Amino acid sequence: MFVLFNITKLHLFSILVNMDRKKTIYVFKIIISFLLISFIADKAVYLLFNKISDDVYSGQSIGKLNQYLKTKNDFDFIVFGSSRANHHVNPNKISNNCYNMGVDGTMIAYSHSLITLLPQKKQTILLHIDPSNVFSNSYLGEDIKALKSKYNRNSIVTKNIDQLGQNNIFQKFYWSLGYNKIAIPIIKNFFKPKYDYKEYNGYDPIYVSKSQQKIFEKILNEPKETDCLETFNVNKLYNKLLDDLVMFSKKNNKELIVFSSPIYFDYCERDNIEFEKIMKEKQIRYYDFTNLFQDNNSIEFWRDRTHLSNIGAEVFSDSLALKIL
Amino acid sequence: MLFNSTEFLVLFVSVFILYWILRDHRHQNILLLVSSYIFYAWWDWRFLSLILISSIIDYSIGSKIYSAKTNRRKKNWLLLSLISNLGLLSFFKYYNFFVDSFTELANTFGWQPNDLTLNIILPVGISFYTFQTLSYTIDIYRGQFKPTRNFLSFCTYIALFPQLVAGPIERASNLLPQIERPRKFKKEWFNEGLLQITIGFIRKIVIADTLGVYVDTIYANTGIYNSTSLILATVFYAFQIYFDFSGYSDIAIGTAKLLGFKFNQNFNLPYFSRSLTEFWRKWHMSLSYWLRDYLYISLGGNRKGIKITYRNLMLTMLLGGLWHGSSWNFVIWGGIHGTVLCIEKLLNANSLFTSIRKIKFLGYGITFLIVLFAWIFFRAQTFNSAITAIKQIFSFSFGPPYIGNISIMVNSILVLAIGLLIDFYLKYRDINLEEVGRDYTPYKLSFIISIMVIFICLFYSTSQNFIYFQF
């Protein structure tokens, strides 16, 4: 340390600077020791969390991802998508060898990255896509950040995050940024797992309480502002990632099936029609369940306008299974 | 440009190095002025012209007031300064508000005037730098300050980037002399500044932004959540705004210290107050003292009898509320504070109240509850939304609160607990945060900052704008 900080050559620099030599050395001492200590502390924290998180197989923060990475090769069917895939598709309705890898707040960039990790083996990929997202021009693949805990640990994930420009430049130096906001859930699930992952198929049904149902009824009574699209240009990233997935599926013996899950009331129908056309063009099997409950829209099927309750999810899963099998 | 952005880091590091390489403080001032304008232009370069106009007007008027031979002339020049500064502020900040209010009033009488609202963007920081420029001319008018002869120094004073967009509102009497004399690098200030900046970041991007996620969810639709959720969201908001703005002030004051400037303290553990009067001595101090010295005292303060004192207090708080934003919610917020301040003044003479105040816990609790209640108006988007929130809270529908994302809730509680523990510790040990780190060795300082940085890495939340930027 002493050698490191004995920066005698700084004399020349301090002449230029409006500080005396001692003060210049002082600033350098602080900067260098800060960079050194924080670098070492960061790596210690990072390695500690790697060690802990590698044994965590429950919870959405990292457990589900770890389970997927460990068992992905064994499944015949895997469901990908956002919370609407996670909470709506019961894999047992499809197959005993099906896993639901839907994660809250994620979209195609996250799913794409996980799908490209799959081996060259016959598997069916069920990908949930909300048509309204496909035509959004603001989507940049931010959801891939949910994989940041694997940023410096999995070369494919690192490459995908970098390619989308969603990397935090500071994460090159501070690796522990990968555990941002998930440190506490990791520790909690390490000491007290939420469930036995060997029994877990990735499906998290939503059980709606009476008070939640009342809240939803209140929301339904409020006027809803809808702003439907008039022009339908496919988001460039969505287009690219969909094409990538088609290619990947052909090369790796996968069947890609895209589906859209029900919503309470579809105010904008044209995006579904336009999306269906695109799916046809790309020769992707697509099932649109947006209006599944149009004729039988019981309040007990719903938690909110876009999320089904466990009861609604069971009905939907049956319908999905019937179509794809 | 936000403090919590990579762009700011690059700008500040470059400025810091160049700044201390330059030997002459006048050259340093040029650097500060240019970098401050870049800092501001990053948001919208067109509004630089407003800062420049304000600077030219008040620099010229300051000299005119000082050289005016008669009091009447001095007064006229001051009036011109007030009209031009408050005119610009009123136009950009309050024009649509007053037009809308007038239209609504006219509608109640059955008259429907044409739509006179304009598509006006509120220039960031206009409320802050307007008050700064006003302090300059008013102090000269009162004979408390001599005008500067250096226009560059004056422009630097108005635009100095650490305090440009959200304060602290630095008075000319404190900052301008510092700009006009050579500055020395001080180890103690460097230590304090670095530590204060890091603490500011923890307060802002770890605590405030994490709490903000829950608050935003609940306050987006106050009508659908139960009492417990609304109370929790309001408590979270009380701490969100405190940690957000005090964090901003810490970063601003710390940054200034690294450049050799000493800003005034802006927050001093305000929730540890036994009365609202004490609260305002600790909350956004640069604003509350500004309002006291330039508005309350100008109105006559407490020198013209008890009734006038109450009127002055109410007016000061109502205008203070309006300063925060062009909405009746802010006026009501100011009105609540003003009313309670008047009641406190009234009861102060009463011995019963004095004895109640001696029970510290009671004083802290009551003050916090009043502040909490007033925050509902401050946070709610509209008057109706605030009323709905209050109705929901007092419907006493206590059930389990809305949790949302469980990990966000756990993180919110954890970071809030850490923030509060630190504040309790500072209060208990009577430590002024602004002086922490002064005598640390380089290694101790580096170690502590490193630990804080790792803490930030693990717990920072997606950054939101600083709340006070909108004012």
What is the residue range of B307's domain?
Answer: 188-470
* CATH number, domain with residue A152: 3.40.50.1110
> B164, B183, B202: which is the final residue of a domain?
B183
Nearest CB neighbour to A41, from listed B190, B443, B451: B451
Q: Is B1 a domain residue?
A: no
Same domain, B327 and B376: yes
Which residues are CB-contacts of B88 (< 8 A; sequence separation ≥ 6)?
A: B50, B53, B54, B126, B130
Contact criterion met (CB < 8 Å) for A180 and B460: yes
Nearest CB neighbour to B224, from listed A34, A61, A215: A215
Q: Which residue of A has its CA nearest to B16?
A: A17
Q: What pLDDT score was predicted for residue A8?
A: 45
Q: CA B424 → CA A174, B26, B168, B413, distances in Å?
A: 30, 43, 24, 16
Q: What pLDDT score was predicted for residue B4?
A: 74
Q: CA B303 → CA A234, B281, B299, B341, distances in Å?
A: 70, 20, 10, 17
Distance to chain A for B182, nearest Cα, Å: 10
Question: What total number of domains does chain A contain?
Answer: 2
Same domain, B125 and B18: yes
Q: Which residue of A has its CA nearest to B397?
A: A211
Same domain, A124 and A245: yes
* Chain segment B376-385, per-residue pLDDT in tens: 999 998 899 9
| B452 has a chain A CB within 8 A of its CB | no
Same domain, B106 and B15: yes
Q: What pLDDT score was predicted for residue B349?
A: 67
> B115, B149, B183: which is the final residue of a domain?
B183
Same domain, A25 and A145: no
* Chain segment B289-336, per-residue pLDDT in tens: 999 999 999 888 888 888 889 999 999 999 999 988 888 999 999 999
A308 within 8 A of A261, measured Cβ to Cβ: yes
Cis peptide before A91 (omega within 30 of 0): no
Same domain, A80 and A124: yes
Mutate to test the interface with B, among A86, A181, A187 (most CBs of B within 10 A): A181
Same domain, A130 and A31: no
Q: What pLDDT score was predicted for residue A3?
A: 42
| A21 has a chain B CB within 8 A of its CB | no
Same domain, A137 and A286: yes
Nearest CB neighbour to B185, from listed A18, A36, A61: A18
Ranked by mean pLDDT, which of B120-129, B152-161, B319-328, B341-350 comes out on top? B152-161
Same domain, A59 and A165: yes
Distance to chain A for B458, nearest Cα, Å: 4
Q: If chain A, 325 residues long, is cut into consecutive pieces of 10 residues, what is the mean pLDDT of each piece?
A: 44 53 86 95 95 91 91 93 94 93 92 94 94 89 91 90 88 91 89 90 90 78 76 91 94 94 88 92 93 86 89 94 87
pLDDT value at B79 more than 90: yes
> B132, B165, B183: which is the final residue of a domain?
B183
Same domain, B17 and B59: yes
Q: What pLDDT score was predicted for residue B467?
A: 61
| A251 has a chain B CB within 8 A of its CB | no
Same domain, A198 and A80: yes
What is the residue range of A111's domain?
Answer: 54-324
Give the pLDDT band of residue B357 (cuts 50, 70, 90). low
Write the ipTM. 0.81
Q: What is d(CA A241, CA A175) in angstroms, rounded to the nearest whole number?
A: 27
* Chain segment A181-216, per-residue pLDDT in tens: 888 889 989 999 988 988 899 999 999 888 778 877
Q: What pLDDT score was predicted for residue B315?
A: 94
Q: Is B10 a domain residue?
A: yes
Same domain, A74 and A40: no
Closest residue by Cα to residue B47 from B99, B12, B93:
B93
Q: Is B92 a domain residue?
A: yes
Contact criterion met (CB < 8 Å) for A38 and B449: yes
Same domain, B141 and B204: no
* Residue range B401-416: mean pLDDT, rounded: 79
Listed in sequence order, the DSSP H helices in A9-63 are 10-16, 21-53
User: 3-state class of A218 per DSSP?
Assistant: helix
Other C-beta atoms lying within 10 Å of the C-beta of residue A278: 19
Give the percent of chain B with pLDDT over 70. 95
Same domain, A61 and A83: yes
Same domain, B365 and B435: yes
* Chain segment B120-141, per-residue pLDDT in tens: 777 878 889 999 999 999 999 9
Same domain, B100 and B203: no
Contact criterion met (CB < 8 Å) for A45 and B411: no
Q: Which residue of A has its CA nearest to B445?
A: A30
The amino acid sitting at B471 is F
Closest residue by Cα to residue B50 from B133, B147, B117:
B133
> CB under 8 Å, gap of 24 or more: what pairs does A73-76 form?
A73/A118, A73/A119, A73/A121, A75/A99, A75/A123, A76/A122, A76/A123, A76/A124
Same domain, B270 and B371: yes
Same domain, B66 and B115: yes
A128 within 8 A of A102, measured Cβ to Cβ: yes
Same domain, B295 and B326: yes
| A6 has a chain B CB within 8 A of its CB | no
Same domain, B31 and B76: yes
Same domain, A117 and A78: yes
| A185 has a chain B CB within 8 A of its CB | yes
Distance to chain B for A18, nearest Cα, Å: 5
Give the mean pLDDT of chain B. 88
Same domain, A87 and A19: no
Q: What is d(CA B160, CA B262) in angstroms, rounded to the nearest whole number?
A: 13
Q: Which residue of B has its CA nearest to A21?
A: B185
* Chain segment B260-279, per-residue pLDDT in tens: 999 999 999 999 998 899 99
Same domain, B263 and B367: yes
Q: Which residues of B are catalytic, by number?
A: 324
* Chain segment B80-128, per-residue pLDDT in tens: 999 999 998 888 888 787 888 788 888 888 787 777 777 777 787 888 9
Q: What is d(CA B99, CA B101) in angstroms, rounded to the nearest whole number?
A: 5
| A29 has a chain B CB within 8 A of its CB | yes
Same domain, A156 and A251: yes
* Chain segment B176-206, per-residue pLDDT in tens: 999 999 988 888 999 999 999 999 999 999 9
HEC-encoded secondary structure of chain B: CCCCCHHHHHHHHHHHHHHHHCCCHHHHHHHHHHHHHHHHHHHHHHHHHHHHHHHHHHHHHHHHHHHCCCHHHHHHHHHHHHHHHHHHHHHHHHHHHHHHHHHHHHHHCCCCCCCCCCCCCCCCCHHHHHHHHHHHHHHHHCCCCCCCCCHHHHHHHHHCHHHCCCCCCCCHHHHHHHHHCCCCCCHHHHHHHHHHHHHHHHHHHHHHHHHHHHHHHHHHCHHHCCHHHHHHHHHHHHHHHHHHHHHHHHHHHHHHHHCCCCCCCCCCCCCCCCCHHHHHHHCCHHHHHHHHHHHHCCCCCCCCCHHHHHHHHHHHHHHHHHHHCCCHHHHHHHHHHHHHHHHHHHHHCCHHHHHHHHCHHHHHHHHHHHHHHHHHHHHCCCHHHHHHHHHHHCCCCCCCCCCCCHHHHHHHHHHHHHHHHHHHHHHHCCCCHHHCCCCCCHHHHHHHHHHHHHHHHHHCCCCCCCHHHHC
Question: What total number of domains does chain B contain?
Answer: 2
| A61 has a chain B CB within 8 A of its CB | yes
A235 within 8 A of A135, measured Cβ to Cβ: yes
Q: What pLDDT score was predicted for residue B356?
A: 64
| A215 has a chain B CB within 8 A of its CB | yes
